[in-house]
Chain A
Amino acid sequence: MNEAYVIGVGMTEFGRHPERSLTDMGREACWRALKDAGMHPKQIQAGFSGNSLAPYLQKEVDIGQPILREVGIVGVPIMNMSNACASGSCAFREAWLAVASGLYELVIAIGTEKAFMGKGTMLDVGGQDFQLMQGGVFPGDFALRARRHMLEFGTTKEQLAKVSVKNHKNGCLNPYSQFKKGFTVEEVLNSPMVADPLTVLSCCPNSDGSAAAIIASKDLSKRYCEKPIKIAASALRSGTYDPNRNLAVFDLDIEASKIAYEMSGYGPEDIEVAEVHDAFTIAEIMHYEGLGFCKPGEGGCLIDGGETKIGGRIPVNPSGGLLSRGHPVGATGLAQIAEIVWQLRGEAGKRQVENARIGLAHVAGGGREGDIGATTVHILARD
């Protein structure tokens, strides 16, 4: 494998954009990433576009070509990728692979979604899935995990709420964030119940937005970029669906992060900033454990001790995460990459983690039968 670097990132503000099309938002993210990289669109040799819900919500398919056409990336190979919440991170992974394999020297990855729904709206996708037809919903599935985690490790509702408080506080510092409003533990706990013990403010919104990254070979990145960020590892694992497994643990986090740590030569103790898939408060606490930021069962203590806030031992979701930045499903993975790149370059403004050199981005996407569909872990590092 050759070394590959991120040399440009860009994104739209996340939130509610009823007047904007998928193509329009995608164009903005691509244009910003190209400008950030200082590359002309005609230099891009391949494109990878992530989206999950457009076939269902907008009745649009294969949106990568129309988006990239807007900025003049035409003729070259373009692939449309779909892997639920991991659509964007998988587009990034394929872009990395395209450069790491030596096939291309300069490619673009983009993730775009238009999925705004009012809080508390249940996502109605999955067709005739057995569990869905019997009332299974995403917040409910995470509530099932929360109950097990609370029973097995003594995790409290207050600890869950603190994740939402932290991420909304961080989101206030991020100009791209959907919610720029802080909440107290009491406000999180007293917001309307969605799936016991998860309240509205314990669940991420579905949002509109797009994010993109330009990936280049080592030679090219050193020639054109002042602050290239190395892709030190990329890992993807899919669900195993063992019906008897422990729901208080994210098996895929453990497996994917193990691969990523081995590939990069770094361990969890080396990670200085992380963006993790906090679709629900309990998820962030369980991801701390799955990614090795603390011992199994100690995720609640980590949030209690303030170790994951900006300025803490291992800041998690300085962007505001899905809870506050918002969650345009297929765009989230690339928004995380953009955030980590900004953090490692020292360009994250008021939410900057001081002198961060090594960062991790984690997405847990989709799922069936109570297991996650696709989990990605990427490790980025400043040279």
Chain B
Amino acid sequence: MEGIIKCPSRVGEPPRLLGNRCSSCGRVFFPKRTLCPNCFTDDTLTEVELSSKGTIYTYTIVHYPSPAGIEAPYAYGYVDLPENNIRVFSLFTESDPKKLEIGMDVGLVIEKIRIDKDGTEILGYKFKPV
């Protein structure tokens, strides 16, 4: 998750997702891209911190373990970040259908997201209902 998340350096600060923005067309990308696919120009992308607050666009709860090493049940979906006009893919902290709803406000957290094939616990980002 290096280059994808910025961990808070002070207590009380939220973590941030790191995307990039094209200085030519203004589009924001997450995860980052190495060139802007809309502009035929080099060196237009600069890193931006994305908003840590969003709303659930859609979600599902998966009842079988993921091949990536995530125990079932787990929930994932897309979160709209209105400040950045971008929709991002994310796991959710909750897997109880009663605690998730389209349009719900969610905030970014850093958590264990999966266990690697060699048993290493991998940290990543999730969104949590506010």
Name A residues whose Cβ lies closer than 8 Å to a Cβ of B: 120-124, 130-137, 139-140, 143-148, 151, 192-198, 243-244, 247, 369-370
User: B58 contacts A247, CB within 8 Å?
Assistant: yes
What are 5 of the A-B contact pairs (CB < 8 Å)? Answer: A133-B114, A134-B90, A144-B60, A243-B86, A243-B87
Of A120, A121, A134, the contact of B76 (CB 8 Å cutoff): A134
Given the interface pairs A135-B91, A136-B89, the reply to whether A144 lies near B62 with Cβ below 8 Å is no
Q: Nearest CB to that of A119 among chain B residues?
A: B64
Which residues from chain A contact B89 at a C-beta distance below 8 Å?
Answer: 130-131, 134, 136, 369-370
| Cα of A197 to Cα of B77 in the assembled complex, Å | 13
User: A143 contacts B60, CB within 8 Å?
Assistant: yes
User: A244 contacts B58, CB within 8 Å?
Assistant: no
User: B68 contacts A132, CB within 8 Å?
Assistant: yes
Smallest CB separation, B28 vs chain A (Å): 9
Q: Nearest CB to that of B56 among chain A residues?
A: A147
Of B63, B77, B124, the contact of A144 (CB 8 Å cutoff): B77
Q: A130-B31, A137-B67, A243-B87 are in contact. List 19 more A-B contacts (CB 8 A).
A: A122-B65, A122-B66, A122-B67, A134-B89, A134-B114, A134-B124, A135-B66, A135-B114, A137-B66, A144-B58, A146-B60, A147-B77, A192-B63, A194-B64, A195-B62, A196-B97, A197-B60, A243-B86, A370-B78
User: B63 contacts A194, CB within 8 Å?
Assistant: yes
Which residues from chain A contact B74 at a C-beta distance below 8 Å?
Answer: 135
List the 3 closest pairs (A to B, CB-CB), nearest first: A124-B67, A143-B60, A196-B61
| Cα of A133 to Cα of B123 in the assembled complex, Å | 12
* Main DSSP-derived SS at the B contact region: strand
Which residues from chain B contact A151 at a C-beta distance below 8 Å?
Answer: 102
Q: Considering residues B57, B97, B124, which has the most beta carbons from chain A within 10 angstroms of its beta carbon?
A: B57
Name B residues whose Cβ lies closer than 8 Å to a Cβ of A: 30-31, 57-68, 70, 74, 76-78, 85-91, 97, 102, 113-114, 124
Which residues from chain B contact A143 at a C-beta distance below 8 Å?
Answer: 60, 62
Smallest CB separation, B62 vs chain A (Å): 5
| Cα of A120 to Cα of B51 in the assembled complex, Å | 36
Q: Nearest CB to that of B74 among chain A residues?
A: A135
Which residues from chain A contact B62 at a C-beta distance below 8 Å?
Answer: 135, 137, 139-140, 143, 194-196
| Cα of A137 to Cα of B60 in the assembled complex, Å | 11
Q: Nearest CB to that of B88 among chain A residues?
A: A243
Which residues from chain A contact B77 at a C-beta distance below 8 Å?
Answer: 144, 147
User: A140 contacts B102, CB within 8 Å?
Assistant: no
Smallest CB separation, B66 vs chain A (Å): 4
| Cα of A146 to Cα of B102 in the assembled complex, Å | 12
User: B87 contacts A244, CB within 8 Å?
Assistant: yes
Of B61, B67, B85, B124, the contact of A195 (CB 8 Å cutoff): B61
Q: Nearest CB to that of A120 among chain B residues?
A: B64
| Cα of A244 to Cα of B29 in the assembled complex, Å | 11
User: A144 contacts B78, CB within 8 Å?
Assistant: yes
| Cα of A196 to Cα of B102 in the assembled complex, Å | 13
Q: Nearest CB to that of A132 among chain B residues?
A: B68
Which residues from chain B contact A146 at a C-beta distance below 8 Å?
Answer: 60
| Cα of A194 to Cα of B66 in the assembled complex, Å | 11
Which residues from chain B contact A148 at a C-beta distance below 8 Å?
Answer: 57-58, 102
Which residues from chain B contact A123 at a C-beta distance below 8 Å?
Answer: 67
Which residues from chain B contact A120 at a C-beta distance below 8 Å?
Answer: 64
Which residues from chain A contact B114 at a C-beta distance below 8 Å?
Answer: 133-135
Which residues from chain A contact B30 at a C-beta distance below 8 Å?
Answer: 243
User: A193 contacts B63, CB within 8 Å?
Assistant: yes
Smallest CB separation, A148 vs chain B (Å): 5
Smallest CB separation, A150 vs chain B (Å): 9
User: A244 contacts B67, CB within 8 Å?
Assistant: no
| Cα of A132 to Cα of B31 in the assembled complex, Å | 13
Of A135, A145, A192, the contact of B68 (CB 8 Å cutoff): A135
| Cα of A144 to Cα of B87 in the assembled complex, Å | 13
Q: Considering residues B30, B60, B87, B113, which has the most beta carbons from chain A within 10 angstroms of its beta carbon?
A: B60
User: B91 contacts A144, CB within 8 Å?
Assistant: no
User: B76 contacts A136, CB within 8 Å?
Assistant: yes
| Cα of A380 to Cα of B124 in the assembled complex, Å | 49
Which residues from chain B contact A244 at a C-beta distance below 8 Å?
Answer: 85-87
Smallest CB separation, B63 vs chain A (Å): 5
Smallest CB separation, A246 vs chain B (Å): 10
Given the interface pairs A133-B114, A136-B89, A243-B86, the reply to whether A122 lies near B58 with Cβ below 8 Å is no
